[in-house]
């Protein structure tokens, strides 16, 4: 009988982490999910807990990590990804990005495992180049309120490359652009769960600023496929994974209202958060060149699946 490869997924009870756990179980791996449940939830992995190839360890990866036996792959996805969460927990955010990356890289070195970190479009800050290519160095305010997230992810990229160059660790870096889908927390504060929940409740949709800032939204299944392909590729430089379909936030609010259909919700305007990036759109030419990956799910389709999931879970 073929021995299963072992993959450690930090943040495995979170939004993307739990989809990755599921995917690697389907792909016949043994999955070790590590999460301190600060924003992750057991509900996200309840379907996996009885599987004998799935282990859950409740642990904060900014403290030393011990995993017995062989480990072939490590995905470091533990993080507080929503602005609302990282503004509430700035120090855990910095620690999981820095100490958590150091500990997981140390584990990769000890186990001779391939290592992939979840980086972010936020490394580009409030970008002055549009769309954003991987060779753009970014425009980040290190001392602003978002600095805790942005700089922890930039540090994470730097330490990953240092381990790659100095210790020959086999590394990958995915820069994840705004991703949405089932298992986002209803109260995580990001725009997709906020708007869907507000519209399903017939409450006004809270558009920050004038809603002229843009984001480009990727459905979770496309994102997971891109990450899996990157992990199995030979490319060590950072790769953008996202959907270039770009919307102003005001247009996106109108699209959510139109897609839900039955809602009485209108739009209200609230203050724009400090340092909120004005525009964001991934250039995904590199993902196509290196991985032959591009997103397949349209925003209408993806929003439809996500709304259905929110309806079943929260209404
Ligand atoms: N936003 C909004 N209303 C909300 C939540 C977010 O207008 O209720 C805006 C936010 O200011 C930002 C965009 O939507 O411009 C995306 O915000 P999100 O928190 O989802 O993620 P970000 O891309 O900023 O990390």
CA–centroid distance, 220 to ligand 1, in Å, is 17
Let me know if 180 is a catalytic residue.
no
Residue of the CA atom closest to atom 21 of ligand 1: 190
CA–centroid distance, 215 to ligand 1, in Å, is 8
- d(CA 230, CA 176) in angstroms, rounded, equals 12
Q: Which residues line ligand 1 (CB under 6 A)?
A: 82-83, 178, 190-191, 194, 206-208, 213, 215, 249, 273, 276
Looking at residue 315, its pLDDT comes to 73
Q: Which domains does the chain have, with CATH numbers?
A: 6-182+219-243+281-296 (3.40.50.720)
The catalytically annotated residue of 73, 149, 163, 219 is 149
Mutate to test the pocket of ligand 1, among 120, 190, 195 (most ligand atoms within 8 A of CB): 190
CA–centroid distance, 214 to ligand 1, in Å, is 9
Side-chain half-sphere CA neighbours of 82 within 13 A: 21
Looking at residue 293, its pLDDT comes to 98
Q: Is residue 244 reached through a cis peptide bond, with omega within 30 degrees of 0 on the bond before it? A: no
- d(CA 60, CA 53) in angstroms, rounded, equals 22
Looking at residue 1, its pLDDT comes to 63
Q: What is the pLDDT of residues 257-297, one digit of tens each?
A: 999 998 899 999 999 999 999 999 999 999 999 999 999 99
For the chain, residues with pLDDT lower than 50 are: none
- d(CA 284, CA 8) in angstroms, rounded, equals 27
């Amino acid at each position: 009988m073929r021995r299963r490869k072992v993959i450690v997924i930090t943040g495995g009870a979170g939004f993307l982490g739990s989809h990755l756990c599921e995917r690697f179980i389907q792909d016949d791996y043994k999955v070790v999910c590590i999460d301190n449940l600060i924003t992750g939830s057991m509900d996200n992995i309840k379907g996996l807990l009885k599987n004998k190839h799935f282990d859950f360890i409740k642990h904060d990866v900014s403290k030393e990590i011990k995993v017995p036996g062989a480990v072939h792959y490590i995905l470091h996805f533990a993080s507080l990804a929503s602005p609302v969460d990282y503004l509430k927990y700035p120090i855990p955010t910095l620690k999981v990005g820095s100490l958590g990356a150091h500990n997981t890289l140390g584990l990769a070195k000890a186990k001779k495992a391939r290592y992939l970190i979840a980086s972010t479009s936020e490394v580009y800050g409030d970008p002055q180049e549009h769309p954003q290519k991987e060779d753009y160095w970014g425009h980040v305010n290190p001392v602003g309120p978002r600095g805790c997230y942005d700089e922890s992810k930039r540090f994470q990229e730097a330490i990953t490359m240092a381990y790659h160059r100095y210790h020959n660790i086999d590394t990958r870096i995915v820069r994840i652009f705004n991703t949405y889908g089932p298992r986002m927390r209803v109260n995580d504060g990001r725009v997709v769960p906020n708007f869907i929940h507000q519209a399903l409740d017939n409450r006004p949709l809270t558009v920050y600023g004038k809603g002229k800032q843009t984001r480009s939204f990727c459905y979770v299944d496309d994102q997971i496929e891109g990450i899996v392909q990157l992990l199995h590729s030979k490319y060590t430089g950072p790769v953008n994974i996202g959907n270039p379909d770009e919307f102003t936030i005001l247009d996106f609010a109108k699209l959510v209202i139109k897609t839900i259909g039955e809602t009485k919700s209108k739009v209200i305007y609230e203050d724009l958060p400090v340092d909120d990036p004005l525009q964001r759109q991934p250039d995904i030419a590199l993902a196509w060149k290196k991985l032959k990956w591009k997103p397949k799910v349209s925003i209408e389709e993806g929003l439809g699946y996500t709304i259905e999931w929110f309806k079943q879970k929260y209404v």
